[in-house]
Chain A
Amino acid sequence: NAGVMQNPRHLVRRRGQEARLRCSPMKGHSHVYWYRQLPEEGLKFMVYLQKENIIDESGMPKERFSAEFPKEGPSILRIQQVVRGDSAAYFCASSPGRTGGSYEQYFGPGTRLTVT
Chain B
Amino acid sequence: KNEVEQSPQNLTAQEGEFITINCSYSVGISALHWLQQHPGGGIVSLFMLSSGKKKHGRLIATINIQEKHSSLHITASHPRDSAVYICAVRSYNTDKLIFGTGTRLQVFP
The answer to whether A100 and B90 touch (CB under 8 A), given A42-B101, A42-B102, is yes
Interface: A45 (CB within 8 A): yes
Tell me which residues across on chain A come within 8 A of B92, comparing CB atoms. Answer: 100
State whether B44 touches A42 (Cβ < 8 A).
no
Interface: A17 (CB within 8 A): no
State whether B45 touches A44 (Cβ < 8 A).
no
The answer to whether A102 and B50 touch (CB under 8 A), given A45-B97, A48-B96, A56-B95, is yes
| Interface hit among A18-26, A61-69, A72-80, A103-111 | A103-111
Interface size class of A (residues with CB under 8 A): 20 to 34
Interface: A43 (CB within 8 A): yes
Interface: A12 (CB within 8 A): no
Tell me which residues across on chain B come within 8 A of A107, comparing CB atoms. Answer: 35, 42-45
A48 and B90 CA atoms in complex are apart in Å by 13
- Tell me the nearest residue of chain A to B43, going by C-beta: A107
**What 1/0 flags go to B92-109 for Cβ under 8 Å of A?**
101111111110000000
- Tell me the nearest residue of chain A to B95, going by C-beta: A99
Interface: B88 (CB within 8 A): yes
Known interface pairs A31-B95, A43-B43, A100-B30; 7 further A-B residue pairs with C-beta atoms within 8 A, sorted by A's residue number: A43-B99, A56-B94, A56-B96, A99-B30, A99-B95, A100-B92, A108-B42
Chain A residues close to B by CB (< 8 Å): 31, 33, 35, 41-45, 48, 55-56, 58-59, 91, 98-100, 102, 104-110
